[in-house]
Amino acid sequence: MSEPLRILQGDWVVAPDWLNLPQTVRARAPEDRNRLCRVRVNKEDVVKAATQRRRQPAYDFWSVLNGKAPPVPYIGDNPEAGLLSLFDAHACFKGVRRPIAEDGNGDGFLAYVLKPSWFFVYDARPPLIMCLKEPVPNDLVFVAYVRLDDPAETSGVKGVLTHWHFVAADKRDGTLPREYDKRYVSQLW
């Protein structure tokens, strides 16, 4: 039996710890990879997936973009060894060659690319519901999309992390997404 998504306590709804994503995460600035910036975290899609009993988007966030093991029991020894965070992205593209949400042409988005070695997966096999640390197949990379804020923003927050996923790696360069030259408008770094 899986953990309930929400527990009602009086008039309050309490989410499980693995759904309590941080407000922001560290990233490299798109204009200069040697500078730090922050991006806000949009939790809406993670919560929507969780209501459909899909934990993997949350677990991907924790283990690939936040560099931490998901806050669940039965995690094992030394769970955070080898995990990455959004700050560890090795490539950044500006402009996605497709519409995304309200952005009709994808110009207002960044795509951060990571090549993680490890991630956590949800495992509901009896007798315990667990979170297992697994190696990432070598033919995959991880892409995180950030919708840019107004360029006049001066707080150091660049935008909002809207969604993320694994994609097939390019055959020419296994550290970038397949057909990256056709997916994105320009490579920033």
Give the pLDDT mean for 99-116. Answer: 84
**Greater model confidence, 143 or 125:** 143
Measured in whole angstroms, the distance separating CA 68 from the mean position of its chain's CA atoms is 12
- The residue type of 64 is V
Give me Rg for the CA atoms of the chain: 17
> How far apart are the C-alpha atoms of 109 and 106, rounded to whole Å?
6
Q: Tell me which H or E stretch contains 14.
A: strand 12-14
CB 52 within 8 A of CB 181: no
Instruction: With cut-offs at 50, 70 and 90, classify the pLDDT of residue 153.
Output: low
Minimal CA–CA distance to 167: which of 136, 137, 142, 138? Answer: 142
Residue 112 contacts residue 91 (beta carbons within 8 Å):
yes
Query: Is residue 106's pLDDT more than 90?
Result: no
Residues 34-91 have pLDDT tens digits of 999 999 999 998 999 888 888 899 999 999 999 999 988 767 778 888 999 999 999 9
- Per-residue tokens: 51: 């209501």
User: Is residue 120 over pLDDT 90?
Assistant: yes
Q: Mean per-residue pLDDT for 122-134?
A: 77
Do 164 and 8 touch, CB atoms closer than 8 A?
no
The pLDDT-based confidence of 143 (bands split at 50, 70, 90) is: very high
Under 8 Å between Cβ of 48 and 8: no
Amino acid at 189: W
pLDDT of residue 1: 43
- Closest C-alpha among 122, 28, 106, 1 to residue 69: 122
Through-space distance between the first and last CA atoms of the chain, rounded to whole angstroms: 45
The alpha carbon of 13 is separated from its chain's Cα centroid by a whole number of angstroms, namely 25
Question: Does residue 84 or residue 103 have the better pLDDT?
Answer: 84
**Domain residue limits, the chain:** 22-187
Which tokens in the block code for residue 105?
């042409």
